[in-house]
Structure 1
Amino acid sequence: MLYQWIIASRPWTFTAAFTPIALGTSLAISDGYHFDLFLFILALLGGIFLQAGANFLNTYGDYMSGVDTIDSAITCPQIVTGILPAYKMKYVGIGMLTTAIIIGLFLIFLCGWPVFVFGFIGFLGAASYTTGWSPYKYKGLGPIFVFFLMGPFMVLPAYYIQTYSLNMNIFFVSIPIAFLVTAIMHANDLRDIEYDNASGIKTIALWLGFKRSLLLYKVICIMAFVVLVCLVALRILPTVALLPLVLFPLLIRKFQRIKYPDITVEIKNLVKWTAGFHFLFGLFFIIGILLSPFVYV
């Protein structure tokens, strides 16, 4: 039973919380600020509990709204198959968010009110994705909200708790990661386009249709690299921050494998693949930033 709860938490998505927090922290270190390990761990735990809470409530919300069926619940079928009861999924999700709030309150006490602003926005985003009075996923706003919630609004507070300062450059540097986390969300909508259409909800993928949505997925992924190059060209980032470019051929090979007509298997695995690529991109990005004080190119 514990294994089912672990799977229901979707641990493969936790990198979407780890990466922006680690990126914000690495930017603070490269700017010469002292690295506070305790604050980093608190921020990381808060982000992961927030992500887990959103995942549990997402599964619950999709079930209650009729979006999830035995056929469509590919990644988290625990409720529709009767393995886990819906009410427990809901309460575990609330418990995860409550834990994130407690950690957030401690960070507010240690670091000040800006943490409250970012934390409150993050809580609202996690709690209202597929639950609440107006779930934004079902209005086609999921990818747009996630761009900010899992991009700038996680990188900025991670930077702030290490430096007690903020600047627009940190916002700009978060954009490549924001594009890739948006790609994860869009890949999910792309995979579920048939089931979402049957359930009557709205997504960007549904509005565009499969072919154009697949093109949009490719554009979103490529934009992460385009913005990265622009940030270096504008001297917002050092040249060594271009390290993620070594992953570009990997992305192109993936694009080649999801061409028509034999794409069913690739689309089903696209969410997890994109999550892994997001993590790899973030890892290389972070390494490049941490190397920047020592590498002059």
Structure 2
Amino acid sequence: MAPPANRRSGFSRRAQYTTFFSYAAGVLGVVIGLGLLVVSYVRPDAFAFLRGAAADVTEPASQASAKTRAAGHDVWAEISGFVQRGSRTAQLERELASAKSRLVAAQATEVENARLKALLGVREEGGGQVAYARLTASTGGSTRRYATLGAGADRGVTKGMPVRSEVGLVGRVLEVGHSTSRVLLITDTESIVPVRRARDGVAGFAQGHGDGTIRIRLINLGLNPLRKGDAIVTSGSGGLYRPNTPIAVVTELLRDGAIARVVSNPSDTDYVLIEKAWSLPDPPPPAPLPGSKKP
């Protein structure tokens, strides 16, 4: 008589062991996953080394992908410009955007120089450029806003360095690997940058909104002096970010500030500049009192 088609696992010790180890592996996987979840929530920087190592490994592929994406973007821009207004119009629009950014920076520099000469007598010193690098990737669909930079400790990049493009501020270095770095974008909700209005120095803070825009919060509450189209630049307060770097343009007014559109969109940015953290120069020593002896 033939054995029944459906036999219970109890008739085979091998099947029993297979079932037992399958359940054990599943339970162990759940426990490990929960443990990693708890660690990532309590200490978000615990896996910074692993993320840096993974980014270093995938960096060649990311560089190739970035080159392909940049080439495709350039081709599409030329085609759409020719179809809509012609290649000459597209070139003029790019030149106009660059000229507007330079004009904003020049106006902000003029106001900053007048304020320092009148109040502090402090001369602004130039900062050092560390490296040029390519943004190989950026988050576009999550609530956190990061980007991957194709330069790391091998190029002299350190944690906290500001990152900017040719038109404005992009963010700051958050984590550093050997050949790659992780950048916290200014549109991230954890990013706060001291800013001011370019034309008159109205001070405030720019906090990321998580949706590609930033929110300007004024220091002095009361009547909101901001207007649509106002250019916002970094103020240099607290150090780190160099003063007068373009950051955003106001698009919507709020009771205590405004919503602004960043001038340097990471998705349209190819190469960026990594700078040393900026700090206010030390003030000159006080003049000796009349009749006092020089040391």
TM tier, smaller: under 0.3
TM, length-normalised to structure 2: 0.26
Task: Answer 1 or 2: which has greater strand percent.
Answer: 2
Instruction: Give the structure with higher Rg (CA).
Output: 2
* Greater relative contact order (Cα < 8 A, sep 6+): 1
